[in-house]
Structure 1
């Protein structure tokens, strides 16, 4: 067991290097106590509950999540062993880790399964996961010896006639169906509406009318429907109906300088309230993109969970802020955050925001493109083939 304790950092580092955040938390961290017992710890906050003691529905959800993660761990082992991409002793531990554990040794913390060891005997809970007892050393050592013998013998066998195909890479969490991920794994979403005065301009305005308007010359009915803000309302309400049920959505309205409003996150059951809030956004003054981005970033995790901000805008910052720098700092502190920009009239104002965060820009040049570009802006967060 001491060998496993010594190998644990390298094993977890390997998992963390190749798989999304969260997979390393599947395996509790071993610690050799002063009395010789093995204690197990997890970085997940919460009260551990034995998998066998959960209510039926929660038990099945935890089992499904556990099975999904073990399959991914097994795929990683096959891929690395074929390519000899990791030390043999670490690969041995990875192989053991991919096997179905005794459910009495599995604990559930904050909805996440945590394996304390691989054995027939259950572990005992501690902080937050506890020691299973000293005989793990002998069982794990025996398993490692058996695996080592198998690997040595396999080296003497003739080469297989059919090559083993590399395992497919696991899906990003944002493309996993809600039924196969926990609420804590679900991405977060924020919609930013540029509610500056220019958003009242009609999408059907002619180039000559727009030129006169920019010269502060009078233009009759420049705010006739369909206005930019009206189409933004309609498309946003249409697109949130496609967002998976486990994704909460916050709303940021940038009316003018130092007047940027933020809502709490709306759950799926509150989507109608979200639509009503969207309809209330109306054009007011200048464009406060930097402040809007800063406040939107505070609404999401972006470290342990994927997050997307969809910025709907028709122009550049006019409140003195630096949205490009805000975007850069957001990405630095929240590596799993991206900003996609719906650029009305292809102004290029949001190009640096998207590029700084690994996002994309979707240009809207006319009325008919609005829905299409909004759909594209969130498409990668809508898993395919889900019920």
Structure 2
């Protein structure tokens, strides 16, 4: 996490945003990929009253207005595209009243075009630190006075109707109705002891085992640029390698998965070399960890083929199913993982794909969006465990024995 900037003066809407930031970001995370969460800087109120703005994206923050013309225009286009999606989310949630009013007000402000002086660019991604003001609607004194008379007249009519009908009401006391029963929890959030084995969700781990997964997570931007140009780079595969961290985090993740959930493993080594395991039970998790450790980077990226094979391992119709895809790049075997994801969701409506996106490439965005899943971007070594845990968090029930 980096600090972008520090602002001393702030408005009431910004203060409201600070208070509601956790609920607001939770709402964004629930419906959109991680790239949209990162659009909004994280505020922190310092002891002197100033606001410090932070970002989970690593890189040198540069003010949008200070960028060269070409970079500025690219960032503006990207910003506008993301704000359109935020606005669409606001419109969607407004129709079904599925979010608290105060959070929806923040979402409304978030969807409007911000002052460019409050927009920064970090690693090519726009980050907002300034907020639109909530527009005040002017009301003329005459209109206001007229509305007050209408409200007074309406109140008098309601009172008169109540008094006239009161004598017709039965004198016996009506039974007090209890509070409505809470909505039942989704199956994936019910403790294993309270659901049958047939109700337990199914899980598949997909490992991108392409050659790029051998690259060190500590590689410098200059080294990576030279490597992408097929120029020699000494020790580019030094530890911690991407694949090594994926091994470690996946094995820790497995220990958190409920005991009644079977887990399958898909390893995408290269084109037409995608291997799968059968569903492994809780008693076989050591065997699963051993299989994970044996996955090593080989060739190209076969995401479409891996998704297709993973989809065949789960029900997704009568049972919940989650696929966790760990990848660091786009499809390079000629397939179309977006189309595969769309077809899977049509055939298996209770299936979702969450993507752990190493180095925030954006390669898995459409896969997640097509299946109702989310993208969890890993920008450095320290984020690996956290993002892996977030990718399965909603399938781990709370307060279970």
TM-score by length of 1: 0.59
Question: Does structure 1 residue 258 correspond to structure 2 residue 272?
Answer: yes
Aligned to 1:90: none
Q: What residue ranges of structure 2 are gaps of 5+ in the alignment?
A: 1-168
Q: Secondary structure at the match of 2:269?
A: strand
Alignment of 1:4-15 (within 5 A): none
Aligned to 2:185: 171
Change beyond 3 A, Cα 1:225–1:165:
same
Distance 2:321 2:286 in 1: 22
Distance 1:331 1:310 in 2: 15
Distance 1:156 1:201 in 2: 79
Alignment of 1:235-250 (within 5 A): 235-250=249-264
Change beyond 3 A, Cα 1:161–1:325:
same
Change beyond 3 A, Cα 1:161–1:236:
same
Distance 1:268 1:159 in 2: 56
Q: CA deviation at 1:156?
A: 6.2
Q: Deviations over 1:193-223 (max 9, x none)?
A: 0000000000000000000000000000000
Q: CA deviation at 1:167?
A: 1.7
Aligned to 2:382: 368
Q: CA deviation at 1:226?
A: 0.2
Aligned to 1:293: 307
**RMSD (Å), alpha carbons:** 1.4
Question: Does structure 1 residue 207 correspond to structure 2 residue 221?
Answer: yes
Q: CA deviation at 1:163?
A: 5.6
Question: Does structure 1 residue 339 correspond to structure 2 residue 350?
Answer: no
Distance 2:170 2:181 in 1: 24
Between the two proteins, the alignment pairs up a number of residues equal to 233
Q: CA deviation at 1:160?
A: 4.7
Change beyond 3 A, Cα 1:195–1:158:
farther
> Following superposition, which runs of at least 4 residues in structure 1 exceed 4 angstroms of deviation?
155-163
Q: CA deviation at 1:164?
A: 3.6
Distance 1:157 1:219 in 2: 89
Q: CA deviation at 1:166?
A: 2.3
Distance 1:163 1:212 in 2: 71
Change beyond 3 A, Cα 1:319–1:164:
same
Change beyond 3 A, Cα 1:292–1:160:
same
Q: What residue ranges of structure 1 are gaps of 5+ in the alignment?
A: 1-154
Aligned to 1:197: 211
Change beyond 3 A, Cα 1:161–1:331:
same
Distance 1:209 1:354 in 2: 30
Q: Deviations over 1:290-334 (max 9, x none)?
A: 000000000000000000000000000000000000000000000
Q: Secondary structure at the match of 1:319?
A: coil
Change beyond 3 A, Cα 1:355–1:157:
farther
Q: Secondary structure at the match of 2:323?
A: strand
Q: Secondary structure at the match of 1:241?
A: helix
Distance 1:157 1:338 in 2: 55
TM-score by length of 2: 0.57
Distance 2:387 2:190 in 1: 23
Distance 1:303 1:196 in 2: 31
1:273 aligned to which of 287, 297, 320: 287
Aligned to 1:316: 330
Alignment of 1:127-142 (within 5 A): none
Alignment of 1:12-91 (within 5 A): none
Q: CA deviation at 1:159?
A: 6.6
